[in-house]
Amino acid sequence: MCLSIPIAVYGAEIVFAYRDSGYGSGIMPGGGLDTATPGHKQEIATIAQRSGIEVDLRDHWDILAELRDRHVDAVNGVMLGGLVRGDAIFRSPEDESEFLPLGGISRAHTVLCNETGEFVVYESDEHGFRNPAGTWSAASTDVAVVGESFVQGYCVPDGETFVDRIRTRFPATLNLGVSGGAPLLQLAAIKEYASHYQSKITLWVYCEGIDLVDVPDEMAHSWLKRYLEASFGQRLIDRQPEIDAGLRAYASAEEIRIRQRATDRDTRARSGDDWRGWVEARLKLWDLRERLAVKYGVGTGQVSTGEPSDSTLQVLSESLSRARDLTSSWGGQLYFVYLPSWGRFKNGSRLPDRERARVLAVAKANGVPTIDVVPAFDRTGDPLALFPFRRFLHYNEKGNRVVAEAILGALPHGPEKNLKEQ
């Protein structure tokens, strides 16, 4: 038994590794095609060609270089999660005061990502968010939406995100979504930006399997947890020049670092010297542990695979409570929107349903109306078709349409027209 069990375990690991070749399981690196190795890019291209889809296999810096050659001010999208994990604090060049940005670089062509085969590039607004021109000039807004990358619109073009589709019903809609925006960052966005426009409706968008994973990092940040204090704020809406200066320096250094890391990775892959990484992954039973995660919650660290802890739920509850009180103070209504994960439909709903039940109970306990998008995905009959190439990525255009319909159908008065006809 001592001999046969290890042989069986590592045999299963090797079989899964060869069968999946990195993508058969549906897992794709964060950011999509542009972050894959050359070999994986070709594999993705082959999968796409079977469906008659042409994919752009260039990297982020290829797109940046092309835009800059045309004298376009192009930047990489800023991920707030990286800032929070690094306990980043920026210093104003004007008075040396410290601050933590919550948005992106303003008025720049932002190279976001490539998950569907085509790069998404959009022009950021005057506060670094993804809104059409003129949104911030309104005296008030109908809807404000806070959340992370799904709200920001990874990785679909302008006009196809679910926030864009909400905007067809409520033209004065403010998108405050930025990648990495978990509960404390969502509360911070409401306090720093949405409060100035006192929207009638505020949508708190929660992403299953993702949001609570980032709570420990948020609570460990020296400043971010202070947003639970009623009086804490940074006046960020008035400090965009300082934010731009800090984020441009950060983005430039990050671009150099990521480019060098990817170059080293690609060099190893082309030369065949990446065998050490392959052996290490097999010794750690990476693929087998991923399979076990879908059954027993023993994850590999990419997303949450188990029931949320009481401590993370408590942070969510406190953040929601503060947001509810703040929005109600100006006569607005806070809604809690629950988005389903890819793993729910690929691997089964047993574990996600545990998280869903507890998270929705938190919203209910705080008196926040909920909009559960899970049934809307189930009703499509093929929820995996709402993800690019049916892989572990963000929603595609169809998925964003389903989310928008579910939200609009639950808001007061409902949608004026069926978005399926648009």
Within a domain: 297: no
Q: Which residue has the tokens 């169809």?
A: 398
Residue 3 lies in a domain: no
> Any idea which of 46-50, 181-185, 332-336 has the lowest mean pLDDT?
46-50
Residue 52 belongs to a domain? no
Residue 50 lies in a domain: no
Examine residue 388 and state whether it is found in any structural domain, yes or no: yes
Mean pLDDT of 69-87: 88
Q: How far apart are CA 155 and CA 362, in angstroms?
A: 30
Residue 325 pLDDT > 90: yes
The pLDDT value given to residue 46: 77
Percent of the chain topping pLDDT 90: 53
| Segment among 118-132, 189-203, 209-223 with least mean pLDDT | 209-223
Average pLDDT of the chain is: 84
Question: pLDDT category, 6, cuts 50, 70, 90?
Answer: confident
Strand 109-113, strand 120-123: pairing: antiparallel
Q: With respect to residue 136, please indicate whether it lies within any of the assigned structural domains.
A: yes
Indicate if the pLDDT at residue 280 is higher than 80.
no
Tell whether the model's pLDDT for residue 20 goes beyond 60.
no
Domain that holds residue 348: 60-253+308-421
Any residues with CB less than 8 A from the CB of 96 and at least 6 apart, and which? none
pLDDT digits (tens, 9 = 90+) for 92-133: 877 778 899 999 999 999 999 888 888 999 999 999 999 998
| Number of structural domains the chain divides into | 1
CATH number for the domain spanning 65: value is 3.40.50.1110
Give domain status of residue 78, yes or no: yes
Residue 293 pLDDT > 60 = no
* Mean pLDDT, range 168-190, rounded to an integer: 94
Q: Is residue 262 part of a domain?
A: no
